[in-house]
Structure formats: structure tokens, C-alpha cells
Structure 1
Amino acid sequence: MMLIQVLGTGCAKCNELEKLVKAVVAETGSDATVEKVTDLKQIAMMGVFTTPALVIDGVIKAAGGLPAEKDIRAWIA
């Protein structure tokens, strides 16, 4: 099972990324768990210093902005 983590403190872009990731997971039928990480210490310990960020199975895929939906689909596929 894939672990997808959306990192952010709750800003509009962070919330938008979470919704987008959940929609892509639902549409693709991916066997993935989507987790929202809001704790700044935990986010920093993961090596992320700008949010929103997207981490898939421990690998930072995007940070500091909203990635394109097509990129998210490719990373989840």
C-alpha cells in the first residue's frame, strides 16, 4: 500500500492539494492511504521547509507549491 502525505499547516493551497490528491486516488482506484501532516516539527524532520508539500512513500515529490494534476497522477500510477 502506498503512503501519500500532504504536508501543510492548513493554508488554502495545502487544503487544495489534499483535495486534489484524494480525488486522484479515488479516480484511479489506487491502493493508497492519504495522510495530512500539519505538525511543523514533523514536517521539518522530513526535510521540507516550504509548504504545501507532497511526499509519496517517503520521497518528496513537490514542495512550496501546488503540483500539476497530471504530475500527481503520474506519481500515483
Structure 2
Amino acid sequence: MEEPQVLGTGCAKCKKSAESTEAAARNAGLEHELIEVTGLNQLMAFGVMMTPAPAVDGVVKVVGTVPSADEIRKMLA
């Protein structure tokens, strides 16, 4: 099971990234559970200083921007 995560503070870009990631995983038919990581200590543990930062299985893929639907599909592949 894929574990997509969106690291963020709850800003508009973070929410958009979470929505896009959830939709991409669902459209790909992946069994998944989207995890939203919002705690400052958790973000720091990932080494993330800019959000949003989508990750898959604990590996940060993009920092500081909302990835396109195509980029998200590639991350989840």
C-alpha cells in the first residue's frame, strides 16, 4: 500500500496539494491512506522548511510548490 503524505501548515497551497494528491491516488486506483503532516516538529524531522512538500512512503518528492497532476502520478508510480 502506498503511503502518500503532504507536509504542510494548512495554507491554501498545502490544502490544494493534499486534494490533488488524494485525487491522483484515487484515480490511479491505488490502495492508499493520505497522511497530512502538519506539526512543526514533524516537518523539521523531514528537513522541510518550505511547504507544501508532498512525500511518498516517507520520501519528500517536491518542496515549496503544488505539483501538477502529472507530477503526482509519477510520484505515486
Pick the TM interval, shorter chain. over 0.9
TM-score with structure 2 setting the length: 0.94
Which consecutive unaligned segments of at least 5 residues does structure 2 have? none
Quote the Cα distance in structure 1 between the aligned partners of 2:22 and 2:2.
13
Distance (whole Å) between structure 1 residues aligned to residue 31 and residue 75 of structure 2: 13
C-alpha displacement of 1:15:
0.2
2:57 alignment counterpart: 57
Partners of 2:47 and 2:2 in 1: CA distance:
20
| Cα distance, 1:75 vs structure 2 | 1.2
Q: Does 1:38 align with 2:35?
A: no
Report runs of 4+ in structure 1 exceeding 4 Å deviation.
Answer: none
Runs of 5+ consecutive residues of structure 1 not aligned to the other structure: none
* Per-residue Cα deviation, 1:34-67 (whole angstroms, up to 9, x for no partner): 1001101111111111000011111110011111
Q: CA deviation at 1:26?
A: 1.1
**Number of aligned positions between the proteins:** 77
Root-mean-square deviation over aligned CA pairs: 0.8
Secondary structure of the corresponding residue to residue 32 of structure 1: coil
1:16 to partner: Cα distance? 0.3
Q: Which moved more, 1:65-74 or 1:11-20?
A: 65-74
Answering whether residue 47 of structure 2 is matched by residue 71 of structure 1, we say no
Distance (whole Å) between structure 2 residues aligned to residue 56 and residue 49 of structure 1: 18
Secondary structure, in 3 states, of the residue corresponding to 1:33?
Answer: coil
**Identical counterparts, % of pairs:** 40
Three-state SS of the structure 2 residue aligned to 1:63 is coil
